[in-house]
């Protein structure tokens, strides 16, 4: 919720300005009607000397459920996609001593089920925050985002350490490098996406 807008509305209500006049003034100043209505509705229409804020549940159980499922399907999709690439590497680079185990059907099934669910939920949650900007302050979302960033950062650091250790030990093969590159690409993409999302929200707030 925009603090500048909220402060203006609060001060205007304290000076006994009508809600319609406050809304008209803000619309002329370029504020969106949706933002204005949201702020005005956050104050109760009661007879008191100062504006009374409404008490609201911070996050509906529905949003918490959707965020949890969204991040769970993200983890499943990332692991399944990595496992799928790992399965193809021995096919692309055959080794006489190691033919690999082929592509796992459970890996493909996990990716087919989890990834579309992740995309649908992410799109639905994004639309929800566009309609109600206050949902961007969801504590559940922020906690899950930071946990995801920590996990992704740990994977990236571990991946780089493993590659460097193999390089220094003279055990770095093309197969191993491609697997490490796959892990780095997946974890790096997740880290970059959610970090930029957090930075965008901080700028908007």
Residue-wise pLDDT for 138-163, tens only, equals 788 889 999 999 999 999 999 999 99
152 burial type by CB count under 10 A (0-12 exposed, 13-18 middle, 19+ buried):
buried
Residue range 163-187: average pLDDT? 92
pLDDT over threshold 60, residue 174? yes
Residue 47's pLDDT is 79
Q: What percent of the chain has pLDDT over 90?
A: 43
For residue 97, pLDDT beyond 70: no
Q: Give this prediction's pTM.
A: 0.69
Q: Phi-psi category of 47—alpha, beta or left, where left has phi over 0 and alpha has psi -120 to 50?
A: beta
1 pLDDT exceeds 70? no
Burial of 26 from C-beta contacts in 10 A (0-12 / 13-18 / 19+): buried
Residue 96 CA to residue 124 CA, distance in Å, equals 48
Q: Which residues pair with 37 in a beta bridge?
A: none
């Amino acid at each position: 919720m925009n603090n500048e807008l909220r402060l203006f509305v609060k001060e205007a209500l304290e000076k006994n300005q009508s809600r319609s006049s406050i809304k008209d003034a803000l619309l002329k100043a370029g504020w969106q009607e949706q933002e204005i209505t949201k702020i005005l509705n956050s104050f109760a229409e009661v007879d008191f000397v100062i504006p009374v804020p409404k008490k609201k549940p911070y996050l509906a159980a529905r949003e918490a459920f959707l965020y949890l499922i969204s991040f769970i399907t993200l983890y499943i999709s990332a692991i399944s996609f990595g496992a799928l690439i790992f399965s193809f590497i021995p096919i692309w680079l055959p080794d006489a001593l190691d033919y690999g185990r082929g592509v796992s059907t459970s890996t493909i099934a996990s990716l087919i089920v989890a990834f579309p669910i992740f995309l649908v939920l992410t799109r639905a949650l994004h639309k929800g925050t566009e309609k109600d900007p206050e949902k961007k302050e969801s504590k559940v979302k922020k906690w899950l985002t930071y946990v995801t960033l920590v996990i992704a950062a740990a994977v990236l650091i571990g991946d780089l350490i493993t590659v460097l250790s193999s390089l220094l030990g003279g055990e770095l093969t093309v197969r191993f490098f491609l697997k490490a590159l796959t892990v780095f690409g997946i974890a790096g993409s997740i880290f970059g996406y959610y970090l930029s999302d957090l930075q965008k929200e901080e700028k908007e707030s």
